[in-house]
Amino acid sequence: MENHTTMKVSSLNCIDLANDDLNHSVVSLKQACLDCGFFYVINHGISEEFMDDVFEQSKKLFALPLEEKMKVLRNEKHRGYTPVLDELLDPKNQINGDHKEGYYIGIEVPKDDPHWDKPFYGPNPWPDADVLPGWRETMEKYHQEALTEMLGKPIATMRLLRYQGISDPSKGIYACGAHSDFGMMTLLATDGVMGLQICKDKNAMPQKWEYVPPIKGAFIVNLGDMLERWSNGFFKSTLHRVLGNGQERYSIPFFVEPNHDCLVECLPTCKSESELPKYPPIKCSTYLTQRYEETHANLSIYHQQT
């Protein structure tokens, strides 16, 4: 794997939500969006004590026997447990899927709700309360605290992740393959283990990868492909990946998207006679469904194994 003693570390803008100088924050945020679409956010209002509890509960889930975790296997609504190798994000460079486990949690919508048939709404599968007491309550509280109520009824999905093993790019082995996020924006909470890398220029040959150091109490925020489409390419959705160094690494990305029926098309301020729209309009749920299906294993392979 790559030598961490000579690693290149990225310098990212840090947005302080407690800063009274709003103009400075806006300028810094805009520059980050135009540059690489990655930045830190501090003083966001979620306490470190609560975040420590969320990570502790996440570790308890992944420590369960595989048989127990498979009881809440990812369903057709993209909720629940995703086993190691389930997700393949960079098929050109990976020999198999990501060396990580995950657990998707979305907005809880009961079956009698009129919006239940939407592809990213529905009930979440939850571990048995006798197995993980208080687990559901902690995760629902975090989902609600991290969720910004925006754009009507948003698609808001958090994912618990555990990375394992040692990555070796020369052999196509990654904790998480190179990709850009599908949606609008991601809020990432991490533990203190290094591993996340970004490539600010995906067209460079060879690609240059830089580590993003975790900052205690900060979110790492990155823009997704949907916002790049919306801004006609002005705002950047940047390639990123995770390299494992033998330590377990935990993270919790929170994916914030518009509502299902939102039409993602070039914003009026991002086009002109010399800058025509680069992408055709597409409905939010249609776009996300396509991207999820491209990267996750077909659920039928798990049913065949049982």
Per-residue pLDDT of the chain (306 residues; tens, 9 = 90+): 444 445 688 889 999 999 999 999 999 999 999 999 999 999 999 999 999 999 999 999 999 999 999 999 998 888 999 999 999 999 999 999 999 999 999 988 888 888 888 888 888 999 999 999 999 999 999 998 887 644 457 888 999 999 999 999 999 999 999 999 999 999 999 999 999 999 998 888 889 999 999 999 999 999 999 999 999 999 999 999 999 999 999 999 999 998 889 999 999 999 998 999 999 999 999 999 998 888 887 777 776 665
The pLDDT of residue 146 is 84
The pLDDT of residue 221 is 96
Q: Which helix (H) or strand (E) holds 24?
A: helix 22-35
Q: Are 166 and 244 in contact (CB under 8 A)?
A: yes
The pLDDT of residue 1 is 43
Mention every residue, 6+ apart, whose C-beta is less than 8 A from residue 260. Answer: 115, 118, 119, 120, 121, 153, 155, 283, 284, 285
Q: Which helix (H) or strand (E) holds 157?
A: strand 155-163
Mention every residue, 6+ apart, whose C-beta is less than 8 A from residue 138. Answer: 53, 54, 57
Domains observed in the chain = 14-262+273-299 (2.60.120.330)
Torsion of CA 48, 49, 54, 60, to 10 degrees: 130
CA distance 61 to 59: 5
The pLDDT of residue 303 is 63
The pLDDT of residue 304 is 64
Output DSSP code: residue 141: H
The pTM (predicted TM-score) of the whole model is 0.90
β-pairing verdict for 38-42 and 14-16: parallel
CA distance 227 to 229: 5
The pLDDT of residue 145 is 86
Helices 135-146 + 48-62 axis angle, to 10? 130
Q: Are 122 and 77 in contact (CB under 8 A)?
A: yes
Q: Are 32 and 39 in contact (CB under 8 A)?
A: yes
List, in sequence order, every residue forming a beta bridge with 161; answer none if it has no partner: 102, 251
End-to-end CA distance of the chain: 35
Nearest alpha carbon to residue 46 among 144, 134, 137: 144
Q: Are 175 and 242 in contact (CB under 8 A)?
A: yes
DSSP 186-231: EEEEE-S---EEEES-TTSSS---EE----TTPEEEEE-HHHHHHT
DSSP 128-139: -TTTSTTHHHHH
Q: Are 164 and 248 in contact (CB under 8 A)?
A: yes
82 burial (CB, 10 Å; 0-12 / 13-18 / 19+) is buried
